[in-house]
Amino acid sequence: MQLSKTEEELMNILWKHKKAFMKDLLDAYEEPKPATTTIATLLKRMADKGFVAYNSFGRSREYFPLVKKKDYFSKHVNGLIKNFFNDSPTQFASFFTQSTDLSKTELQELKQLIDQEIKRK
Its pTM stands at: 0.77
Tens digit of each residue's pLDDT (9 = 90 or more) over 13-72: 999 999 999 999 999 999 999 999 999 999 999 999 999 999 999 999 999 999 999 999
Q: How far is CA 75 from the centre of its chain?
A: 10
Tens digit of each residue's pLDDT (9 = 90 or more) over 63-96: 999 999 999 999 888 888 999 899 998 888 888 8
Domains and CATH numbers, the chain: 5-65 (1.10.10.10), 69-120 (no CATH)
pLDDT of the residue at 80: 87
Q: Where are the alpha helices (DSSP H) in the chain?
A: 5-17, 22-28, 36-48, 69-84, 89-99, 104-120
